[in-house]
Copies of this chain bind each other. A is one copy, B any other.
Amino acid sequence: MSEQMLRAEKLDAGDDLAACRSRFVLDDVVYLDGNSLGALPAAVPARVDDAVRRQWGELRIRSWTESGWWTAPERIGDRIAPLVGAAAGQIVVGDSTSVNVFKAVVGAVRLAGQERDEILVDATTFPTDGYIAESAARMTGRTLRPVQPAEVPDALGDRTAAVLLNHVDYRTGRLHDLPSLTAAVRAAGAVSVWDLCHSAGALPVGLDEHGVDLAVGCTYKYLNGGPGAPAYLYVRREHQDRFDSPLPGWNSHAEPFGMRGDYEPTSGAARGRVGTPDILSMLALEAALDVWDGVSVDAVRAKSLALTDFFLECVAEYVPAGRVECVTPVAHAERGSQIALRCADAGAVMGRLIERGVVGDFRHPDVLRFGFTPLYVSFAEVERAARVLAEVVAAG
Protein backbone atom coordinates (compact mmCIF):
# COMPACT_ATOMS: atom_id res chain seq x y z
CA MET A 1 0.00 0.00 0.00
CA SER A 2 1.32 3.41 -0.98
CA GLU A 3 1.66 6.27 1.44
CA GLN A 4 -1.34 8.06 -0.08
CA MET A 5 -3.45 4.92 0.18
CA LEU A 6 -2.63 4.73 3.87
CA ARG A 7 -3.49 8.40 4.27
CA ALA A 8 -6.81 7.84 2.52
CA GLU A 9 -7.57 4.99 4.87
CA LYS A 10 -6.90 7.23 7.86
CA LEU A 11 -8.92 10.11 6.45
CA ASP A 12 -11.87 7.82 5.79
CA ALA A 13 -11.64 6.40 9.30
CA GLY A 14 -11.87 9.92 10.73
CA ASP A 15 -14.67 11.06 8.42
CA ASP A 16 -17.85 11.93 10.32
CA LEU A 17 -19.85 11.95 7.09
CA ALA A 18 -18.68 8.50 5.99
CA ALA A 19 -21.91 6.92 7.19
CA CYS A 20 -23.92 9.10 4.80
CA ARG A 21 -22.63 7.04 1.91
CA SER A 22 -25.09 4.30 2.76
CA ARG A 23 -27.93 6.73 2.05
CA PHE A 24 -27.11 6.42 -1.66
CA VAL A 25 -27.15 3.67 -4.25
CA LEU A 26 -23.52 3.30 -5.30
CA ASP A 27 -21.29 0.69 -6.84
CA ASP A 28 -17.54 0.35 -7.36
CA VAL A 29 -17.36 3.22 -9.84
CA VAL A 30 -15.61 6.34 -8.51
CA TYR A 31 -18.37 8.82 -9.22
CA LEU A 32 -16.95 12.32 -9.47
CA ASP A 33 -19.78 13.68 -11.56
CA GLY A 34 -22.24 14.51 -8.83
CA ASN A 35 -21.88 18.14 -9.90
CA SER A 36 -23.60 17.14 -13.11
CA LEU A 37 -26.08 14.50 -11.86
CA GLY A 38 -26.10 13.50 -8.19
CA ALA A 39 -26.22 9.79 -7.36
CA LEU A 40 -29.54 8.14 -6.49
CA PRO A 41 -30.51 8.44 -2.83
CA ALA A 42 -31.64 5.06 -1.52
CA ALA A 43 -34.98 6.42 -0.28
CA VAL A 44 -36.10 7.61 -3.71
CA PRO A 45 -37.26 4.48 -5.58
CA ALA A 46 -39.84 3.38 -3.00
CA ARG A 47 -41.15 6.93 -2.58
CA VAL A 48 -41.53 7.46 -6.30
CA ASP A 49 -43.22 4.10 -6.62
CA ASP A 50 -45.69 5.12 -3.92
CA ALA A 51 -46.30 8.43 -5.68
CA VAL A 52 -47.05 6.59 -8.91
CA ARG A 53 -49.01 3.54 -7.74
CA ARG A 54 -50.88 4.82 -4.70
CA GLN A 55 -51.02 8.61 -4.93
CA TRP A 56 -51.64 8.80 -8.67
CA GLY A 57 -52.98 5.32 -9.39
CA GLU A 58 -55.36 4.93 -6.45
CA LEU A 59 -56.13 8.35 -5.02
CA ARG A 60 -55.82 10.10 -8.38
CA ILE A 61 -57.16 13.64 -8.24
CA ARG A 62 -57.65 13.46 -4.46
CA SER A 63 -53.87 13.50 -4.03
CA TRP A 64 -53.73 17.20 -4.83
CA THR A 65 -54.96 17.70 -1.29
CA GLU A 66 -54.66 14.32 0.47
CA SER A 67 -51.08 13.61 -0.64
CA GLY A 68 -49.98 17.23 -0.33
CA TRP A 69 -49.24 17.69 -4.02
CA TRP A 70 -50.56 21.23 -4.15
CA THR A 71 -48.27 22.53 -1.41
CA ALA A 72 -45.19 20.59 -2.55
CA PRO A 73 -43.40 23.56 -4.17
CA GLU A 74 -43.30 25.56 -0.93
CA ARG A 75 -42.89 22.54 1.34
CA ILE A 76 -39.86 21.29 -0.57
CA GLY A 77 -38.54 24.83 -0.82
CA ASP A 78 -38.52 24.91 2.96
CA ARG A 79 -36.48 21.71 2.97
CA ILE A 80 -33.85 23.33 0.74
CA ALA A 81 -33.86 26.58 2.72
CA PRO A 82 -31.55 25.53 5.59
CA LEU A 83 -29.03 24.18 3.08
CA VAL A 84 -28.60 27.63 1.56
CA GLY A 85 -28.99 29.68 4.72
CA ALA A 86 -32.57 30.84 4.21
CA ALA A 87 -35.37 31.02 6.73
CA ALA A 88 -38.57 29.26 5.72
CA GLY A 89 -41.06 30.85 3.35
CA GLN A 90 -38.65 32.26 0.79
CA ILE A 91 -37.98 29.38 -1.59
CA VAL A 92 -40.31 27.76 -4.07
CA VAL A 93 -39.47 24.72 -6.18
CA GLY A 94 -40.56 24.29 -9.79
CA ASP A 95 -39.60 24.83 -13.43
CA SER A 96 -36.07 24.59 -14.82
CA THR A 97 -33.12 26.70 -13.74
CA SER A 98 -33.32 28.66 -17.00
CA VAL A 99 -36.98 29.53 -16.41
CA ASN A 100 -36.15 30.62 -12.88
CA VAL A 101 -33.27 32.77 -14.11
CA PHE A 102 -35.81 34.53 -16.33
CA LYS A 103 -38.21 35.10 -13.42
CA ALA A 104 -35.39 36.30 -11.21
CA VAL A 105 -33.68 38.66 -13.65
CA VAL A 106 -36.93 40.24 -14.85
CA GLY A 107 -38.14 40.40 -11.25
CA ALA A 108 -34.87 42.04 -10.21
CA VAL A 109 -35.07 44.66 -12.95
CA ARG A 110 -38.62 45.50 -11.90
CA LEU A 111 -37.58 45.76 -8.25
CA ALA A 112 -34.74 48.10 -9.22
CA GLY A 113 -37.07 50.57 -10.87
CA GLN A 114 -37.50 52.26 -14.20
CA GLU A 115 -34.50 54.59 -14.10
CA ARG A 116 -31.91 51.80 -13.91
CA ASP A 117 -31.25 50.48 -17.40
CA GLU A 118 -28.34 48.08 -17.23
CA ILE A 119 -28.06 44.41 -16.26
CA LEU A 120 -24.62 43.07 -15.40
CA VAL A 121 -23.97 39.40 -15.99
CA ASP A 122 -21.04 37.21 -15.10
CA ALA A 123 -19.07 36.98 -18.36
CA THR A 124 -17.84 33.51 -17.41
CA THR A 125 -21.30 32.22 -16.60
CA PHE A 126 -22.84 28.93 -17.57
CA PRO A 127 -24.15 30.00 -20.97
CA THR A 128 -27.86 29.60 -20.30
CA ASP A 129 -27.76 32.35 -17.69
CA GLY A 130 -26.29 34.71 -20.25
CA TYR A 131 -28.79 33.75 -22.95
CA ILE A 132 -31.73 34.15 -20.61
CA ALA A 133 -30.39 37.40 -19.18
CA GLU A 134 -30.09 38.69 -22.74
CA SER A 135 -33.75 37.84 -23.33
CA ALA A 136 -34.72 39.48 -20.03
CA ALA A 137 -32.80 42.61 -21.02
CA ARG A 138 -34.43 42.68 -24.45
CA MET A 139 -37.92 42.24 -23.02
CA THR A 140 -37.49 44.86 -20.30
CA GLY A 141 -35.70 47.39 -22.47
CA ARG A 142 -32.42 47.15 -20.59
CA THR A 143 -28.88 46.69 -21.78
CA LEU A 144 -26.92 43.58 -20.87
CA ARG A 145 -23.24 44.01 -20.02
CA PRO A 146 -21.04 40.95 -19.40
CA VAL A 147 -18.33 41.55 -16.84
CA GLN A 148 -15.84 39.39 -14.97
CA PRO A 149 -17.15 38.79 -11.44
CA ALA A 150 -14.08 40.49 -9.95
CA GLU A 151 -14.85 43.60 -11.98
CA VAL A 152 -18.43 43.87 -10.80
CA PRO A 153 -17.69 46.38 -8.01
CA ASP A 154 -16.14 48.77 -10.55
CA ALA A 155 -18.91 48.23 -13.07
CA LEU A 156 -21.71 49.03 -10.61
CA GLY A 157 -23.34 52.41 -10.78
CA ASP A 158 -26.55 54.38 -10.83
CA ARG A 159 -27.53 52.69 -14.05
CA THR A 160 -27.21 49.17 -12.68
CA ALA A 161 -30.56 47.46 -12.24
CA ALA A 162 -29.58 43.86 -11.60
CA VAL A 163 -26.48 41.72 -11.36
CA LEU A 164 -26.58 38.00 -12.20
CA LEU A 165 -23.68 36.03 -10.78
CA ASN A 166 -22.67 32.43 -10.26
CA HIS A 167 -21.65 31.39 -6.81
CA VAL A 168 -19.29 28.75 -8.21
CA ASP A 169 -18.10 28.80 -11.80
CA TYR A 170 -19.30 25.62 -13.57
CA ARG A 171 -16.09 25.28 -15.51
CA THR A 172 -13.22 26.31 -13.28
CA GLY A 173 -14.79 25.55 -9.93
CA ARG A 174 -13.91 29.04 -8.73
CA LEU A 175 -15.96 30.18 -5.74
CA HIS A 176 -16.93 33.82 -5.99
CA ASP A 177 -17.11 36.06 -2.96
CA LEU A 178 -20.85 36.17 -2.43
CA PRO A 179 -20.84 38.26 0.76
CA SER A 180 -18.72 41.11 -0.56
CA LEU A 181 -20.20 41.13 -4.07
CA THR A 182 -23.74 41.12 -2.68
CA ALA A 183 -22.87 43.98 -0.38
CA ALA A 184 -21.41 45.96 -3.28
CA VAL A 185 -24.51 45.37 -5.41
CA ARG A 186 -26.75 46.45 -2.56
CA ALA A 187 -24.63 49.52 -1.82
CA ALA A 188 -25.05 50.59 -5.45
CA GLY A 189 -28.83 50.30 -5.12
CA ALA A 190 -28.97 47.38 -7.52
CA VAL A 191 -30.55 43.96 -7.07
CA SER A 192 -28.46 40.80 -6.82
CA VAL A 193 -29.37 37.47 -8.42
CA TRP A 194 -27.20 34.49 -7.55
CA ASP A 195 -27.08 31.19 -9.39
CA LEU A 196 -26.37 28.49 -6.81
CA CYS A 197 -26.31 25.47 -9.14
CA HIS A 198 -22.73 24.57 -8.26
CA SER A 199 -22.70 25.57 -4.61
CA ALA A 200 -25.95 24.54 -2.94
CA GLY A 201 -25.41 21.30 -1.09
CA ALA A 202 -21.63 21.57 -1.25
CA LEU A 203 -20.87 24.63 0.86
CA PRO A 204 -22.55 27.28 3.01
CA VAL A 205 -24.34 29.98 1.02
CA GLY A 206 -25.86 32.22 3.67
CA LEU A 207 -28.57 33.86 1.54
CA ASP A 208 -30.33 35.56 4.43
CA GLU A 209 -27.17 36.50 6.31
CA HIS A 210 -25.47 38.13 3.36
CA GLY A 211 -28.46 40.05 2.10
CA VAL A 212 -28.91 38.27 -1.21
CA ASP A 213 -31.98 39.58 -3.04
CA LEU A 214 -32.86 36.75 -5.39
CA ALA A 215 -31.33 33.37 -6.11
CA VAL A 216 -31.94 30.33 -8.26
CA GLY A 217 -30.45 26.88 -8.35
CA CYS A 218 -30.91 23.42 -9.72
CA THR A 219 -31.52 20.39 -7.55
CA TYR A 220 -29.94 17.61 -9.59
CA LYS A 221 -26.31 18.23 -8.71
CA TYR A 222 -25.27 18.29 -5.03
CA LEU A 223 -28.92 18.05 -3.99
CA ASN A 224 -29.34 14.70 -5.79
CA GLY A 225 -32.90 15.33 -6.92
CA GLY A 226 -32.66 13.28 -10.11
CA PRO A 227 -32.29 14.01 -13.82
CA GLY A 228 -33.84 17.36 -14.68
CA ALA A 229 -35.34 17.68 -11.20
CA PRO A 230 -37.16 20.99 -10.70
CA ALA A 231 -35.12 24.05 -9.84
CA TYR A 232 -35.89 26.63 -7.16
CA LEU A 233 -36.28 30.35 -6.72
CA TYR A 234 -35.42 32.35 -3.61
CA VAL A 235 -37.06 35.73 -3.16
CA ARG A 236 -35.87 37.56 -0.07
CA ARG A 237 -38.80 38.16 2.28
CA GLU A 238 -38.50 41.95 2.12
CA HIS A 239 -38.96 41.84 -1.67
CA GLN A 240 -41.80 39.36 -1.88
CA ASP A 241 -44.63 41.88 -1.89
CA ARG A 242 -43.03 43.75 -4.76
CA PHE A 243 -41.85 40.72 -6.71
CA ASP A 244 -43.48 41.03 -10.11
CA SER A 245 -43.11 37.79 -12.05
CA PRO A 246 -42.92 37.74 -15.84
CA LEU A 247 -44.61 34.33 -15.67
CA PRO A 248 -47.75 34.96 -13.61
CA GLY A 249 -49.34 31.55 -14.06
CA TRP A 250 -52.45 30.50 -12.16
CA ASN A 251 -50.45 28.70 -9.47
CA SER A 252 -49.19 32.08 -8.26
CA HIS A 253 -52.66 33.57 -7.97
CA ALA A 254 -54.03 34.61 -4.58
CA GLU A 255 -57.09 32.47 -5.36
CA PRO A 256 -55.88 29.80 -7.75
CA PHE A 257 -59.20 27.97 -7.78
CA GLY A 258 -61.26 31.13 -7.99
CA MET A 259 -60.70 31.03 -11.76
CA ARG A 260 -60.79 34.79 -11.82
CA GLY A 261 -60.17 36.73 -14.97
CA ASP A 262 -58.01 39.29 -13.21
CA TYR A 263 -54.60 38.39 -11.86
CA GLU A 264 -53.92 39.01 -8.19
CA PRO A 265 -50.58 37.60 -7.06
CA THR A 266 -50.44 35.56 -3.90
CA SER A 267 -48.06 36.48 -1.08
CA GLY A 268 -44.88 34.75 -0.05
CA ALA A 269 -42.65 32.36 -1.93
CA ALA A 270 -45.59 30.93 -3.87
CA ARG A 271 -45.62 34.10 -5.93
CA GLY A 272 -42.74 32.50 -7.84
CA ARG A 273 -44.90 29.58 -8.96
CA VAL A 274 -46.16 29.38 -12.53
CA GLY A 275 -48.15 26.36 -13.75
CA THR A 276 -49.02 22.96 -12.36
CA PRO A 277 -45.97 21.55 -10.60
CA ASP A 278 -44.31 18.45 -11.94
CA ILE A 279 -45.27 16.14 -9.11
CA LEU A 280 -43.34 12.95 -9.82
CA SER A 281 -40.05 14.80 -10.10
CA MET A 282 -40.91 16.97 -7.10
CA LEU A 283 -41.61 13.98 -4.89
CA ALA A 284 -38.39 12.30 -6.02
CA LEU A 285 -36.56 15.44 -4.95
CA GLU A 286 -38.40 15.54 -1.64
CA ALA A 287 -37.32 11.96 -0.89
CA ALA A 288 -33.77 12.81 -1.99
CA LEU A 289 -33.56 15.60 0.56
CA ASP A 290 -33.83 13.05 3.37
CA VAL A 291 -30.07 12.43 2.98
CA TRP A 292 -29.51 15.79 4.72
CA ASP A 293 -31.10 14.71 7.99
CA GLY A 294 -28.65 15.51 10.76
CA VAL A 295 -25.98 16.77 8.35
CA SER A 296 -24.34 20.14 8.90
CA VAL A 297 -23.41 22.15 5.82
CA ASP A 298 -20.24 23.27 7.60
CA ALA A 299 -19.18 19.64 7.97
CA VAL A 300 -19.92 19.12 4.29
CA ARG A 301 -17.76 22.09 3.40
CA ALA A 302 -14.90 20.89 5.59
CA LYS A 303 -14.94 17.47 3.96
CA SER A 304 -15.28 18.99 0.49
CA LEU A 305 -12.10 21.00 1.00
CA ALA A 306 -10.32 17.99 2.47
CA LEU A 307 -11.34 15.89 -0.55
CA THR A 308 -10.22 18.44 -3.10
CA ASP A 309 -6.99 19.17 -1.20
CA PHE A 310 -6.23 15.47 -1.11
CA PHE A 311 -7.04 15.06 -4.80
CA LEU A 312 -4.69 17.89 -5.71
CA GLU A 313 -1.92 16.35 -3.60
CA CYS A 314 -2.38 12.93 -5.18
CA VAL A 315 -2.48 14.44 -8.67
CA ALA A 316 0.69 16.41 -7.95
CA GLU A 317 2.42 13.27 -6.77
CA TYR A 318 1.12 10.79 -9.36
CA VAL A 319 0.59 12.64 -12.64
CA PRO A 320 3.67 13.32 -14.78
CA ALA A 321 4.62 16.99 -14.60
CA GLY A 322 3.15 19.22 -17.27
CA ARG A 323 0.38 16.84 -18.35
CA VAL A 324 -2.41 18.61 -16.48
CA GLU A 325 -2.79 22.10 -15.10
CA CYS A 326 -5.18 22.92 -12.29
CA VAL A 327 -7.67 25.60 -13.31
CA THR A 328 -9.42 25.65 -9.93
CA PRO A 329 -8.05 28.12 -7.40
CA VAL A 330 -5.85 26.61 -4.71
CA ALA A 331 -7.06 29.04 -2.03
CA HIS A 332 -9.89 27.53 -0.05
CA ALA A 333 -11.83 30.78 -0.07
CA GLU A 334 -11.92 30.62 -3.87
CA ARG A 335 -12.65 26.95 -4.39
CA GLY A 336 -16.00 25.23 -4.85
CA SER A 337 -16.39 21.47 -4.59
CA GLN A 338 -14.81 20.53 -7.87
CA ILE A 339 -11.38 20.37 -9.43
CA ALA A 340 -10.97 21.32 -13.07
CA LEU A 341 -7.78 20.21 -14.78
CA ARG A 342 -6.73 21.56 -18.12
CA CYS A 343 -5.42 18.76 -20.28
CA ALA A 344 -4.56 18.90 -23.99
CA ASP A 345 -6.45 15.72 -24.89
CA ALA A 346 -9.14 16.10 -22.24
CA GLY A 347 -11.94 14.50 -24.27
CA ALA A 348 -9.98 11.31 -24.94
CA VAL A 349 -8.59 11.19 -21.40
CA MET A 350 -12.05 11.40 -19.88
CA GLY A 351 -13.25 8.63 -22.18
CA ARG A 352 -10.48 6.35 -20.90
CA LEU A 353 -11.07 7.34 -17.28
CA ILE A 354 -14.71 6.38 -17.60
CA GLU A 355 -13.72 3.01 -19.11
CA ARG A 356 -11.54 2.49 -16.06
CA GLY A 357 -14.38 3.27 -13.65
CA VAL A 358 -13.57 6.88 -12.78
CA VAL A 359 -16.42 9.14 -13.88
CA GLY A 360 -15.93 12.87 -14.20
CA ASP A 361 -16.84 14.98 -17.17
CA PHE A 362 -15.28 16.78 -20.04
CA ARG A 363 -15.95 20.43 -20.66
CA HIS A 364 -15.17 21.75 -24.07
CA PRO A 365 -12.48 22.37 -25.20
CA ASP A 366 -9.83 21.09 -22.80
CA VAL A 367 -11.10 20.67 -19.25
CA LEU A 368 -11.39 17.53 -17.13
CA ARG A 369 -13.93 18.27 -14.45
CA PHE A 370 -14.18 16.28 -11.21
CA GLY A 371 -16.94 17.01 -8.72
CA PHE A 372 -16.64 15.89 -5.12
CA THR A 373 -19.89 15.19 -3.30
CA PRO A 374 -18.95 15.03 0.37
CA LEU A 375 -21.93 12.88 1.32
CA TYR A 376 -20.79 9.92 -0.74
CA VAL A 377 -17.24 10.33 -2.02
CA SER A 378 -14.50 8.72 0.08
CA PHE A 379 -10.85 9.59 0.32
CA ALA A 380 -9.94 6.13 -0.94
CA GLU A 381 -11.91 6.90 -4.10
CA VAL A 382 -10.11 10.20 -4.47
CA GLU A 383 -6.75 8.46 -4.30
CA ARG A 384 -7.90 5.88 -6.83
CA ALA A 385 -9.16 8.58 -9.21
CA ALA A 386 -5.83 10.38 -9.15
CA ARG A 387 -3.95 7.11 -9.62
CA VAL A 388 -6.05 6.04 -12.60
CA LEU A 389 -5.74 9.53 -14.09
CA ALA A 390 -1.96 9.27 -13.82
CA GLU A 391 -1.98 5.89 -15.53
CA VAL A 392 -4.24 7.13 -18.30
CA VAL A 393 -2.23 10.23 -19.11
CA ALA A 394 1.04 8.31 -18.86
CA ALA A 395 -0.28 5.75 -21.35
CA GLY A 396 -1.84 8.41 -23.63
Residues on B with beta carbons closer than 8 Å to the beta carbon of A253: 127, 131
Residues on B with beta carbons closer than 8 Å to the beta carbon of A126: 250, 259
Q: Is A153 an interface residue (CB 8 A)?
A: no
- Per the bound structure, the CA–CA distance linking A33 and B59 in Å amounts to 12
Evaluate contact between B132 and A228: CB separation under 8 angstroms: no
Evaluate contact between B45 and A249: CB separation under 8 angstroms: no
Residues on B with beta carbons closer than 8 Å to the beta carbon of A57: 25, 39-40, 45
For the complex of A and B, the 7 pairs showing the least CB-CB separation, nearest first, are A96-B275, A98-B249, A98-B275, A227-B279, A128-B250, A40-B57, A228-B278
Residues on B with beta carbons closer than 8 Å to the beta carbon of A322: none
Known: A37-B56, A45-B52, A99-B275; 5 extra A-B contacts, CB below 8 A, are: A27-B58, A31-B60, A69-B228, A127-B260, A227-B280
- Per the bound structure, the CA–CA distance linking A253 and B60 in Å amounts to 37
Interface residue ranges of A339-361 to B (CB < 8 Å): 359, 361
- Per the bound structure, the CA–CA distance linking A229 and B52 in Å amounts to 12
A138 to B, closest residue via Cβ = B246
Interface residue ranges of A80-132 to B (CB < 8 Å): 95-99, 102, 106, 123, 126-128, 130-132
Chain multiplicity (copies):
2
- Separation in Å of the A2 CB from the closest CB of chain B? 28
Interface residue ranges of A133-165 to B (CB < 8 Å): 134-135, 139-140, 146
A359 to B, closest residue via Cβ = B61
Evaluate contact between A40 and B25: CB separation under 8 angstroms: no
Evaluate contact between A226 and B56: CB separation under 8 angstroms: yes
Q: Is A48 an interface residue (CB 8 A)?
A: yes
- Separation in Å of the A151 CB from the closest CB of chain B? 16
- Per the bound structure, the CA–CA distance linking A280 and B126 in Å amounts to 24
Interface residue ranges of A4-59 to B (CB < 8 Å): 25, 27, 31, 33, 36-37, 39-40, 44-45, 48-49, 52-53, 55-58
Given contacts A140-B139, A279-B228, A361-B61, contact A132 B98 (CB under 8 A): no
Q: Which of B64, B259, B277, B363 contacts A259 (CB 8 A)?
A: B363
Evaluate contact between B248 and A280: CB separation under 8 angstroms: no
User: How many residues does chain A have at the interface if contact means C-beta atoms less than 8 Å apart?
Assistant: 79
Q: Is A247 an interface residue (CB 8 A)?
A: yes
Evaluate contact between A95 and B97: CB separation under 8 angstroms: no
Residues on B with beta carbons closer than 8 Å to the beta carbon of A98: 247, 249-251, 274-275
- Separation in Å of the A119 CB from the closest CB of chain B? 15
Evaluate contact between A53 and B40: CB separation under 8 angstroms: yes
Evaluate contact between A131 and B96: CB separation under 8 angstroms: no
Q: Mark A371-382, 1 if CB is under 8 A from B, else 0.
A: 000000000000
- Per the bound structure, the CA–CA distance linking A97 and B276 in Å amounts to 8
Given contacts A61-B37, A95-B99, contact A284 B52 (CB under 8 A): yes
A282 to B, closest residue via Cβ = B228
- Per the bound structure, the CA–CA distance linking A388 and B123 in Å amounts to 65
- Per the bound structure, the CA–CA distance linking A171 and B132 in Å amounts to 35
Q: Is A266 an interface residue (CB 8 A)?
A: no
Q: Is A261 an interface residue (CB 8 A)?
A: yes
Evaluate contact between B131 and A248: CB separation under 8 angstroms: yes
- Per the bound structure, the CA–CA distance linking A18 and B161 in Å amounts to 60
A360 to B, closest residue via Cβ = B61
A60 to B, closest residue via Cβ = B37
A229 to B, closest residue via Cβ = B278
- Separation in Å of the A129 CB from the closest CB of chain B? 9
Q: Mark A217-253, 1 if CB is under 8 A from B, else 0.
A: 0101000001111110000000000000111111101
- Per the bound structure, the CA–CA distance linking A131 and B52 in Å amounts to 31
